Structure 1
C-alpha cells in the first residue's frame, strides 16, 4: 500500500528550490500557534479570515492573475467581518490580531508556493513532502532554541515529556499534520491555490461551531456578527469562483 511513496531523496539543487516554500510553511505554523495562544478558538477564524484577501493580492502580484468584481466584493465582506469581529471580541488581543493577520498572509502564500514548487519535484506530492519536512526540521530548530523552548522542555521533562498522554497527543498531531499536508498538496496539484483557500472555509465553519460547543468560549453580539460575516463572505467568494470556473 506504500508503493506509491518514492524512496527518500535529498538533492541540494532541488532543496534550494523548495526552501522558499518551507520558509513560508514554518512561518505559517508559527503564526497559527501564536495566534491561538492569544485569542479564543471561536475568534481564531476571524483573526485569520483575511487569507482570501491575501490570496487575491498575492495571486495578482506573484502570478499576475486579476480577480473579478464579485470576488472583490466577497473580500470586502470578509474584511468587514474581520473588523466587526475584532471590535466585538471579549478577550481582545493586539498580539492575537497581529499573528492572525500574519497567519492569513502566510496561509495564502503557502498555497501559491505549493503550486509553483511542485514542478521542481516532477509534480510529485510525496517528493515535495520529503523535502518540505526535512527542511522544516532544519528551519524550526533555531526557532525552538532562540524561543527558549528547550529550557521549558528540560524543566518539564519529568512531568510532561515522560507522560503517556503527552506522546499520544503528539502522535495524533503528527499524523494529522502529515495527512493535512498530503491533502493540501494533492488539492493544489489538481485544482488551484484559490480552491485550497476556499475549502479552508468549510473547515473554519466546523472549527468555530465545535469551539463554541466544547470550550464554551464567550461570544458577544458583535463578535458573532463578525464571525458570520467572515464565513458568509468566504462562502460567497467560493460560490463566485465556482460560477466563474463553470462559465469557462
Structure 2
C-alpha cells in the first residue's frame, strides 16, 4: 500500500513539474513575442538585460532571504576565470533567442532551436575530436531534414531572425559543452548558476543595450500611451524568465532523462500550437510536417543518447577545466576527462 501511494505521489510530482516547466517556458516565449509585436518594444538587448536583472534579484532572494537553496561559495579567481566565460555564452544565448523572436514567428523559432542536439554533436566532433556511434549521427538526419523542410516552406521567413536562432543553437551547444568543464569541482544547481551568471550577464549587456537601444527606448517611453501596463508586462517577462530557471531545476530532479527529453519536445509542440492560436502566423502543411519531423528526430536522438554509453572506449573526450596556467593556453588537450 505504501509503495503504491509513493509511486502515485512520484507520478503526480513528475506531471506537476513538467506542466509548471511548460507553463513558464511558454509564458516567457509568448510574453517576449507580445512585447516585440503588440507593444512595439523592438529592443531585444534591453529585454534581455531586464531578464538578467530580474534573475539576479530573484536568485538573491531565493538563496539569501528565503534560504531555499544554500549558497555555493566560489573563489573570486574562479568567478572570473570560469564563470565569466560561461556568463558571456549564457548572455549570447538569451540575446540571440530574443533577437530571433523579434523577426520570426514563435513556431519557426522553436523549430530551429530543436537543431541544438545536432550543433552539440558537430561541435564536439569538430573542436574536441569526440567520436560518436553511427546511431547518434543517424538520429540527426530527421532533425536536419525537418529543419530544412520547415525553413524552405516557412511563409514568414526572415534571414536575420533565422540566423539569430541558428547561432542561438550554437551558443546553447557551447554553453552545454563548456558547463561541466569550466565549473569542474562545483556542484552547481540552476539557482546558484543564475546567482553567479546573471550579474555578469547584466554587466556584459548593459553598455551595448544603452548605446545601441537607449535612444529608441526613450522615444518609445515618450510615445507609448499605456506606459504603466506595458512596463508591467516587460517586468513580468523578466520574472517569468527567472521562474523558468527555477522550474528547470525542479523538473530535472523530478523526472528521468528520457522523460525530460520527451517532455521538452512536447513542450515545443505545445508552444508552437499556443503561439499560433494567439498570433495567427500562417503555417503551411509542409511547414507543420517539417516541425513534426524535427520533434520526432529530437525524441529519437534523446532515446539513442540514453541507451548508448556516454563515451566509446578509446575515443577522445571533452576537455576538463584547466588546472594550471600552462593548461589554460591550449583549450584542446589530449589527456582530458569526459564530463558531458
Q: TM-score, normalised by structure 1?
A: 0.82
What's the offset of the Cα at 1:104? 0.8
Q: Which moved more, 1:14-23 or 1:153-162?
A: 153-162
What's the offset of the Cα at 1:162? 7.5
Q: Which residue of 2 aligns with 1:70?
A: 135
> Do structure 1's residue 34 and structure 2's residue 99 form an aligned pair?
yes
Structure 2 CA distance for aligned equivalents of residues 159 and 151 of structure 1: 13
- The 8 Å contact of residues 105 and 156 in structure 2, kept in 1 or not, is answered as yes
Structure 2 CA distance for aligned equivalents of residues 186 and 116 of structure 1: 23
- The 8 Å contact of residues 118 and 128 in structure 1, kept in 2 or not, is answered as no
Structure 1 CA distance for aligned equivalents of residues 99 and 268 of structure 2: 17
What's the offset of the Cα at 1:81? 0.7
Structure 2 CA distance for aligned equivalents of residues 26 and 195 of structure 1: 28
Q: TM-score, normalised by structure 2?
A: 0.62
Q: Which residue of 1 aligns with 2:194?
A: 129
Structure 2 unaligned residues grouped into runs of 5+: 1-61, 311-340
Q: Which residue of 2 aligns with 1:154?
A: 218
Residue among 276, 280, 292 paired with 1:216: 280
The structure carrying a bigger helix percent of its residues is 1
- The 8 Å contact of residues 78 and 233 in structure 1, kept in 2 or not, is answered as yes
Structure 1 CA distance for aligned equivalents of residues 282 and 172 of structure 2: 27
Residue among 138, 145, 150 paired with 1:85: 150
Structure 1 unaligned residues grouped into runs of 5+: none
The count of aligned residue pairs is 244
Residue among 71, 78, 89 paired with 1:24: 89
- The 8 Å contact of residues 54 and 105 in structure 1, kept in 2 or not, is answered as yes
Residues 81-123 of structure 1, C-alpha deviations (whole Å, 9 max, x = no match): 1111111011222212211210111112222333334436x31
- The 8 Å contact of residues 257 and 306 in structure 2, kept in 1 or not, is answered as no
Give the superposed CA RMSD: 3.3
Structure 2 CA distance for aligned equivalents of residues 216 and 87 of structure 1: 20
Larger of the two Rg values belongs to structure = 2
Change (3 A) 1:193 1:178: farther
Residue among 236, 255, 266 paired with 1:202: 266
Structure 2 CA distance for aligned equivalents of residues 116 and 192 of structure 1: 23
Change (3 A) 1:119 1:170: farther
Structure 2 CA distance for aligned equivalents of residues 193 and 178 of structure 1: 23
Residue among 217, 240, 246 paired with 2:304: 240
Q: Which residue of 2 aligns with 1:113?
A: 178
What's the offset of the Cα at 1:225? 1.8
Q: Which residue of 2 aligns with 1:15?
A: 79
- The 8 Å contact of residues 150 and 288 in structure 2, kept in 1 or not, is answered as yes
What's the offset of the Cα at 1:181? 2.7
Q: Which moved more, 1:159-168 or 1:51-60?
A: 159-168
- The 8 Å contact of residues 139 and 301 in structure 2, kept in 1 or not, is answered as yes
Change (3 A) 1:119 1:162: farther
Structure 1 CA distance for aligned equivalents of residues 181 and 257 of structure 2: 10
> Do structure 1's residue 103 and structure 2's residue 131 form an aligned pair?
no
Structure 2 CA distance for aligned equivalents of residues 144 and 18 of structure 1: 22
